[in-house]
Amino acid sequence: MTEVHYHDYLQLDKILNAQEPESARHNVSAHDEMLFIIIHQAYELWFKQLHHEADSIVGIMRKPSLNDNSPELQTVVHRLNRMVVILRVLIHQIDILETMTPMDFLDFRDMLRPASGFQSWQFKLFEAKLGLKFEYRHGKEYYTAQLRQEHVDLIKNAETQQSFLQLVNDWLERMPFFDNSTLWNEYGTVGNEHPFWEKYKESYKDSLAEAEKNNLQVFDEVFFQQRESHYTLSAKANRAALFIMLYRGYPLLQLPFQLLNNLLEIDEQLSTWRHRHMNMVHRMIGTRIGTGGSSGKDYLKAAADKHYIFKEIAQLNSFLIERRRLPQLPKAIERKLGFAVGE
């Protein structure tokens, strides 16, 4: 077996010689351009790792028989958590970039046109794989305009594939407990809907303030009717996700809850990253146009406010109630959720 050397394994000759400042080519003094290049190269390397994680969990979630009590689901949760930590690192890298002052940036900024972070195809591809739909993007006519055609093709292809959010929907729809009516015999017959959800809706109604009574109509829309076409999560998936959130203390639901919580954390970290980026841009160039031709801060703010991938899951928090109001689950369901032997 051939010995492996640290320098060769990491291909440091390629990495350490991959920084070619434009200022050096123009024989202009711009000390901070090296920092600018390395920071953005590091971003792209982390984006590559995020793709590596995202592709792996999509592969697992595509399996038709994913077991909630399995090493595979544990792997999905673990890798989602890793993605959250990587996104935190991306945010903290802005602290380093902000050691560069606006005047330091102006030393080389004009030499970069039309290069722009807006041309980061890896980030756009990552958003598409997670589930950001084309119609929900800010500046739809512009977001691929500056990309090379091979990168546009990658993103467009990803938009035609099942996204991770759609796979989460399919996984949630497989929740078995509500398909077996005998498990709920203790509830008897309450109304037209499943007896649990009839009970839960009553408890939810009692928890609302007078000004929130219109939420009942939204409750029916999200969990039963879904007359609008903009939903990615089905009513059945929404019910399963809410049930997981409500009864996450049961052993069988702990991993599913961690999965859903990680999705909310990913959205939060992406939002924080976008807002930190927006504020940094405003600090560096004020209201000037970005090097790629975008409106700078205004574009970034609009995208940050709109580009929430897992907003339908976050919306479910509007329908939580206090623990003391939760319907008591039938013993048969409690046994299922508690990994009872022989069930």
CB 32 within 8 A of CB 100: yes
Crossing angle (nearest 10°) for helices 149-160 and 121-130: 10
Cα–chain center distance at 14 = 32
Closest CA to 259 of 127, 125, 167: 167
70 vs 75: CA distance, rounded Å: 9
Give the residue ranges of the annotated binding site for heme: 277
Give the residue ranges of the annotated binding site for substrate: 36-40, 109, 291
Give the residue ranges of the annotated binding site: 36-40, 109, 277, 291
Q: What are phi and psi of 306, to 5 degrees?
A: -105, -30
238 vs 200: CA distance, rounded Å: 14
DSSP labels for 218-248?
HHHIIIII--SS--SS-HHHHHHHHHHHHTT
End-to-end CA distance of the chain: 51
CB 331 within 8 A of CB 245: no
